[in-house]
Amino acid sequence: MDDIAQVIAQSQADIVAFQEIVPSTGPARLLELAAALQNRLGSKVCVAISPKPTDGDELYAFLWHHEKIALATITTAGSLKTTDRCLPPSPIPLADDVASEIVREPDFAFFFSQKEQQYFAVANVHFVPTEDKPENEVPPTFRFATNMAKPLATQALSLPVLVLGDFNLSAAHRAFVTAALHRQFKPALINVPTSLKLSRRALNKPYDNIWYRNLIPIKAAVMTLYPNPATPTADWPQIGHSLTFLEQDEPRDVYYGLSDHSPIYLIMDLPD
């Protein structure tokens, strides 16, 4: 848990999205993580956890810095307002209207940036494995992401929206052309490997990504779970933001003990 806290602390992220949270132990571990981060950062950290998806056996979650980000809700009048909910974990909804089309239907939430005084929306996804055709889950996901702001009276078309997570699919796949690009969503990463190989220090598949709309990307990259090499290779390039505290860890230990995917991040501006 302390390793994960160190990853997040080094990233300086305002908000973090998680997939594959174990229902039996995951919520308690997330609270431990929030406490560890609060000790490191000296500021309040909030957690929100989803229900279990219809056909999945895992949860989604968000974690954010209370001083920088606030959770938001849609009012009956069709506007967004902030809420001070933080701990214990706030519940966040699943995309019920696409549950019949997506095995692990996304969770989603609205947030407010204290710095930029702007609202934005995030959908968190974990598509089925490659052998189960994750491309079939692309159209309903981006249809939902496009419609999630519809209840807003004045912000429906201009609200910044992010769709992020493990797609088990490259952003170059043709399924994204009509489902995402034609809806004005763009990928933060293009053909950048993010999953890890088990046998050696190497990146593998370009499966994780952050698709965005109505915002200004500044930088997107992979946080490699190993230090950047002195001599880059095709398998182990000089890429992203490396985490040097894992320098002595064996690949198998990182793969099973921490994650089989490297974290990714997006630095962004929200338009006025």
Question: According to the model, what pLDDT value does residue 241 have?
Answer: 45
Question: According to the model, what pLDDT value does residue 89 have?
Answer: 76
Question: According to the model, what pLDDT value does residue 252 have?
Answer: 47
pTM above 0.85, yes or no: yes
Question: According to the model, what pLDDT value does residue 46 have?
Answer: 93
* Residue 101 vs residue 204, higher pLDDT: 101
Confidence of residue 243 (pLDDT cuts 50, 70, 90): very low
Contact residues for 206 (Cβ-Cβ < 8 A; gap 6+)? 170, 171, 172, 189, 191, 192, 193, 194
55-94: b or e for each residue (b if 16 or more CB lie within 10 Å)?
ebebbbbbbbbbebbbbbebeeeeebeeeeebeebbebeb
CA atoms within 13 A on the CB side of 128: 14
Which segment, 89-93, 146-150, 167-171, 256-260, is predicted with the most confidence on average? 167-171
Question: According to the model, what pLDDT value does residue 234 have?
Answer: 57
Q: Is 21 left (phi over 0), alpha (psi -120 to 50) or beta?
A: beta
pLDDT above 50: residue 98: yes
Question: According to the model, what pLDDT value does residue 151 have?
Answer: 86
Mean of all residue pLDDT scores within the chain: 83
Query: Could you tell me where the DSSP H helices lie in 62-105?
Result: none
